[in-house]
Structure 1
Amino acid sequence: MSRLLHTSDWHVGHTLYGHPRTADFDAVLAEIVDIARDIQPDLIIHTGDLFHSSRPSAADLIRAMRVLKQLAAVAPTVIVAGNHDSPTYFRFFDLLAGQSVGRGLFFVDRFRTAEEGGVFTFDACGGEQRIRLAAMPFVHPNQFWQRSALDTSYADYAEGMRALQEQLLESMREGYDPDRDVLLFAAHVYVAGARRSPSERRIDESFEIAAEDLAKVSYTALGHIHRPQAVRGPSFPARYAGSPLAMDFGEAGESKSVVVVDVDPGRPVRAVPRTLTSARRLDVFEGTLDDLKAEADRYDGTYLKAVITGEEPGVPLAQKIAAIVPNAIAINPVLATEPATDIVAGLGPVEELELPDAFRAYLGQEGVSGAAADSTVATFVQLLNEVDDEAPPPVLAEELLRAALEDTWTEKS
Structure 2
Amino acid sequence: MRILHTADWHFGKTLEGRDRTLEQAAVVDELIALCDAESIDLVLMAGDVYQTVNPSADAEALFYRALDGLSAGGKRAVVVIAGNHDNAERIRAARPIADKLGITLMGLPKDDLRPTPMDSNRVTRVAAGIGYVELAIPGCTDHCVIALLPYPSESRLNEVLAKTLDEQELQSNYSRRIGEWFAALADHFRPDTVNLAMSHLYVQGGMESESEVQIQIGGAYAVHASAFPASAQYVALGHLHRPQAVNGAPVPVRYAGSPLCYSFSEAGQTKSVVVIDAVPGAPATIREIPLHSGKPLVRWKATQGLAQVMQWVEEGRDAEAWIDLEVLVETGLQLEEIHRLRDLHPGFVHIRPVFSEQAPGSGADPTETTAGLSVEALFRKFFTDRSKTDADDELVQLFLELVHEAEETPGDTGGQEEPTPAGDGVEGVGA
Pairwise CA distance, 1:86: 0.2
Rg larger in structure: 1
* 1:383 aligned onto 2:402: yes
* 1:302 aligned onto 2:321: yes
Structure 2 CA distance, aligned partners of 1:29 and 1:373?
A: 56
Pairwise CA distance, 1:118: 1.1
Residues 362-405 of structure 1 deviation map (CA, whole Å, 9 limit, x = unaligned): 6566x32452288766644442332221278898xxxxxxxxxx
**Structure 1 counterpart of 2:92, one-letter code:** R
Report the equivalent of 1:258.
273
Structure 1's 392 and 158: CA in aligned 2 closer, same or farther, altered over 3 A? closer
Structure 1 CA distance, aligned partners of 2:201 and 2:284?
A: 22
* 1:338 aligned onto 2:356: yes
Report the equivalent of 1:146.
160
Report the equivalent of 1:267.
282
Deviates more, 1:329-338 or 1:191-200: 329-338
Report the equivalent of 1:193.
205
Residues 199-258 of structure 1 deviation map (CA, whole Å, 9 limit, x = unaligned): 434543211111122232110100001111111222421110011111121211111111
Structure 1's 124 and 162: CA in aligned 2 closer, same or farther, altered over 3 A? farther
* 1:319 aligned onto 2:340: yes
Pairwise CA distance, 1:331: 1.6
Report the equivalent of 1:85.
86
Q: How many residue pairs get matched?
A: 384
Gaps of 5+ in 2: 113-127, 415-431
Q: Which of 130, 133, 139 lines up with 1:117 in the alignment?
A: 130
Structure 1's 181 and 317: CA in aligned 2 closer, same or farther, altered over 3 A? same
Report the equivalent of 1:98.
98
Structure 1's 227 and 289: CA in aligned 2 closer, same or farther, altered over 3 A? same
SS in 1 for 2:390: helix
Residues 91-117 of structure 1 deviation map (CA, whole Å, 9 limit, x = unaligned): 31223x232xx1221111100277743
Pairwise CA distance, 1:311: 7.0
| Contact in 1 for aligned 2:323/2:348 (Cα 8 Å) | yes
Cα root mean square deviation, aligned: 3.3
Structure 1's 78 and 158: CA in aligned 2 closer, same or farther, altered over 3 A? farther
Structure 1's 68 and 376: CA in aligned 2 closer, same or farther, altered over 3 A? farther
Pairwise CA distance, 1:171: 4.1
TM-score, normalised by the number of residues in structure 1: 0.81
Structure 1's 104 and 373: CA in aligned 2 closer, same or farther, altered over 3 A? farther
| Contact in 1 for aligned 2:208/2:240 (Cα 8 Å) | yes
* 1:291 aligned onto 2:308: yes
Structure 1 vs Structure 2: percent identity of aligned residues? 26
SS in 2 for 1:159: helix
**Structure 2 counterpart of 1:79, one-letter code:** V
Q: Which of 148, 173, 182 lines up with 1:135 in the alignment?
A: 148
TM-score, normalised by the number of residues in structure 2: 0.78
**Structure 1 counterpart of 2:279, one-letter code:** D
**Structure 1 counterpart of 2:170, one-letter code:** D
**Structure 2 counterpart of 1:196, one-letter code:** E
| Contact in 1 for aligned 2:229/2:250 (Cα 8 Å) | no
| Contact in 2 for aligned 1:54/1:84 (Cα 8 Å) | yes
Pairwise CA distance, 1:19: 1.5
Gaps of 5+ in 1: 396-413
| Contact in 1 for aligned 2:137/2:143 (Cα 8 Å) | yes
Structure 2 CA distance, aligned partners of 1:40 and 1:299?
A: 34
